[in-house]
Chain A
């Protein structure tokens, strides 16, 4: 560990990256998706309603013409998920599945789908939002189990070639955000620096939110709530202009969507701080390129230029993490690390590949909190500033 005077941390590397982004902003171009993938739009309420009307009109026409209506939607099976190397996104290919009304096998599926379409229509017309759970409880008899209503909801969104949030069916959000940011949430202006020891709870109704003002220079995504609270207590963002957020573990849709919005609109570098274990690295990967299940929404959920700031396996030695704070990797950790090493996006990133291989070699993992073995303020006053100054990220 390079011992430095605290005042020496000028975040040089992070600021250089920030300047690069500002130059890029001036020449920013639209992301072009590969031709063999489907394009999904984040539609407004009216646009989503119009697409829904189009689908229903087509169905009615088919009923009149042939009496055998079918619905077409993009397949979400593994064989239709494509990794777009250039944009570093997981996307859906052009395979289409057809759902038929007249088949006995698909009658339950179609009924559920139509019921969800009805709910979506009601939500959009009334400009209201509903959770996945609410939708399930609106018709338990039809859905049977929540996994069925969840599937129909995703079917409707992909059938309309839009995001699930655009249908006003939202997942419960669990993320928190603080720092140098002001937002509008409906008719209220919220200052994310003024939450005392707390933080703003990220709303899943992001269509009601606008980013209105910020003087942040980077965004820090933290896996653990405890680590975020630690940094917040030290008012890290006051000294280092930043926005800090956490999804309290696995990245939920609202947090990923909000991060994407911040990244897209403010065009700031994004760094992640996760546990030094395969689960932490997986969480980073979900922020980076999206999850397979929601690959059709990736362009609205993924932040392809997010950097993995730590905790890296090599940091355990670099920052003298005591032996007692380093945990043995379990067989499952080893299996998951090997699986991560097989992923294209890891193979493409040599530094990442190297760090995961080192973890396999040492068979050690550590939590973010292991850094506290050097003192409570070590994370916010030494570790993060040093890494952001030297550019030691993946």
Chain B
């Protein structure tokens, strides 16, 4: 177990990444998500949380992502399908975490398997929605800034209208 010391003298122990070798391919990612979302916030110690987060990133980069890539990059359709079923589940909760495997998903679009294509489409939709959400967030910030500048007379009504139009079109 990897041991992390708490400021009150206690410890938190997390499974060694080497022990995840026998796990189903998608499980390390689920594990990372679980600890990040459920356990980290229960520890009232920022140093401890930071150290745990660093370790989880280590698990992500050294175990979770490489193992997924290995399967998605292989020609074992059955294994790919198993992994995609779990990834599709995961994409509902945290699509951002799946960013590193995105290029490998694109490659799979050549496979002539309806279930795989269906899952890929669902995941791809979520990536698109996430991208849109991020862009919208950026535009909203810009809108607020421009609104302020417009009210202060720093920009013209035309420029404000153009930005407002872009924002509304994006929001749909």
Contact = CB atoms under 8 A, between A and B. Distances in A.
Interface of A: 15, 19, 22, 25, 182, 184, 187, 189, 191, 210-215, 217, 241, 265-266
A213 B10 contact: no
Interface centre among B3, B11, B12, B38 (most CB of A within 10 A): B11
A184 B23 contact: yes
B30 A266 contact: no
Contacts of A266: 1, 13
B31 A214 contact: no
A388 to B, nearest CB: 14
Given A187-B27, A189-B30, A189-B34, A214 B9 contact: no
B139 interface: no
A189 B11 contact: no
Contacts of B136: none
Contacts of B111: none
B6 interface: yes
A55 to B, nearest CB: 25
A212 B23 contact: no
A265 B27 contact: no
A184 B31 contact: yes
Interface centre among A211, A213, A265 (most CB of B within 10 A): A213
A215 B13 contact: yes
B38 A214 contact: no
A263 to B, nearest CB: 12
B14 interface: yes
A213 B30 CA distance: 14
Interface of B: 1, 3, 6, 9-15, 19, 23-24, 27, 30-31, 34-35, 38-39, 43, 86
Contacts of A25: 3
A215 B43 contact: yes
A211 B15 contact: yes
A213 B23 contact: no
B34 A215 contact: no
Contacts of A187: 24, 27, 30, 86
Contacts of B24: 187
B6 A212 contact: no
Contacts of A217: 10-11
Nearest to B12: A215
Nearest to B20: A210
Given A19-B9, A210-B19, A215-B43, 4 more contacts: A15-B9, A184-B23, A187-B27, A189-B31
Given A184-B27, A187-B24, A265-B1, A214 B34 contact: no
B31 A212 contact: yes
A22 B12 CA distance: 12
B167 to A, nearest CB: 40
Nearest to A189: B34
A182 B13 CA distance: 10
A266 B13 CA distance: 7
Nearest to A44: B22
Nearest to B24: A187
A182 B30 CA distance: 13
Given A22-B11, A189-B30, A213 B19 contact: no
Contact of B35 (A19, A22, A210, A213): A213
